Amino acid sequence: MYYVLNDIQLTKNFKLSEFVCHDGSDEVMLNGKLIELLQLLREELQQPITVAAGYRNKSHNLVVGGSPNSRHLIGDAADIKVRLISPRAVALVAQRLGFNGIGVYTNNGDYFTHLDVRTLPSYWHDNRNTKTLTAVKTIKEI
């Protein structure tokens, strides 16, 4: 784990500060493959990507209700928003580019796409009007 002392430009469109834990600690861990794929996604979509959540330490993950096995805990995940592009459309492109963990969230007015670089594919979406998630075999099922 590291602390952000200055705002390092990681790629053409992403800075290290975008991935720090949102608890005010400035702690950060980041998998290089994640940032490479996010940059490819940014170029493919030709739209800015907002990182809503990157790394989370254990205490902050607990506060936000994250999974105990969350990929955010090891710097392998980012929750992103792309203005004017639906989370499902983002997910379809992300799958093609090589993201293996993809979740589509559209409930309660908080629209975002979870992306991670786990080894084995896993896709899911939130269920309308509930707090449960549904696993699917392909993003097209969402």
Q: Enumerate helices (H) and strands (E) in the chain, giving the number of each.
A: 3, 8
Structure tokens at 131: 């707090």
State the average pLDDT over residues 10-27. 94
Percent of the chain with pLDDT over 70: 93
Please report where in the chains the tokens 């290290």 appear, as a residue: 16
Domain boundaries, the chain: 2-141
The pLDDT value given to residue 131: 72
State the average pLDDT over residues 108-121. 91
Percent of the chain with pLDDT over 90: 76
Q: What is the pLDDT of residues 46-105, one digit of tens each?
A: 999 999 999 999 999 999 988 999 999 999 999 999 999 999 999 999 999 999 999 999
Topology of domain 2-141 in CATH is Muramoyl-pentapeptide Carboxypeptidase; domain 2 (3.30.1380)
CA distances from 100 to 12, 48, 95, 111, 114 (A): 23, 21, 7, 20, 11
The pLDDT value given to residue 23: 94
Read off the pLDDT band of 108 (50, 70, 90).
low
Read off the pLDDT band of 132 (50, 70, 90).
confident
User: Torsion over CA of 5, 25, 16 and 133, rounded to 10 degrees?
Assistant: 170
The pLDDT value given to residue 106: 85
The pLDDT value given to residue 123: 96
